[in-house]
């Protein structure tokens, strides 16, 4: 007879004192989270589950997580499965916690570093320096962009002037 999920799971964990991370010792995802197979091929319930989610479910004696909830790490260690470091939260709470703790930074670059940028910082500074002595149509033609791009720069919608360097 197969071992219980509980025994199979905890056999793959390096348990230590309750206040430190318990590290997952088996298969991990490319992001470092533990991966654990659950269910049975016989009844079609076999699936991979994130190890920290399984740890939370085992520790709280539940078979699934509520819809819209995720298991969050207070320790910021993806390998950790210590139930004392795990809690339920929403996707938004998890994302905010990751951002607040500097685990997640925006990958969208601003200004000319943005992959869709059509203007350089020098172009933006030029637009602001001309003020309204040239029309949006004239500047758009001169810089080979749309009139709405010029308007968005002028109103600070796309390129906030503080993003543009002060020296040309």
Cα angle for residues 148, 150, 154 (degrees, 5° grid): 115
Q: Give the predicted TM-score (pTM) of the model.
A: 0.59
Task: Domain ranges for the chain, please list them.
Answer: 5-100, 111-163
Scored b (16 or more CB within 10 A) or e, 28-51 reads eeeeebbebebeeeeeeeeeebbb
For the segment(s) 5-100, the CATH number from 3.90.105.10, 2.40.10.10, 3.90.75.20, 3.30.420.40 is: 3.90.75.20
Greater confidence, 46 or 24? 24
Taking only the tens place, the pLDDT of each residue in 85-137 is 999 999 889 888 887 887 765 566 677 777 778 899 899 999 989 888 999 99
Residues in the chain: 168
Q: Does residue 72 have a pLDDT over 90?
A: yes
């Amino acid at each position: 007879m197969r071992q219980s999920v509980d025994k199979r799971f905890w056999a793959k964990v390096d348990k230590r004192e309750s206040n430190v991370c318990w590290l997952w010792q088996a298969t991990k995802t490319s992001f470092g989270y533990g991966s654990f197979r659950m269910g049975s091929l016989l009844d079609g319930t076999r699936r991979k589950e994130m190890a920290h989610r399984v740890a939370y479910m085992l520790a709280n004696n539940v078979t699934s997580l509520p819809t819209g909830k995720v298991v969050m790490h207070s320790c910021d260690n993806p390998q950790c499965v210590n139930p004392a470091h795990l809690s339920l939260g929403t996707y938004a709470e998890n994302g905010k916690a990751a951002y607040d703790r500097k685990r997640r930074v925006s990958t969208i670059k601003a200004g000319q570093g943005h992959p869709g940028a059509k203007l350089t910082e020098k172009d933006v500074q030029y637009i602001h320096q001309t003020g309204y002595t040239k029309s949006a149509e004239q500047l758009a033609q001169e810089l080979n962009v749309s009139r709405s791009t010029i308007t968005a720069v002028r109103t600070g919608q796309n390129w906030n002037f503080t993003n543009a360097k002060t020296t040309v």
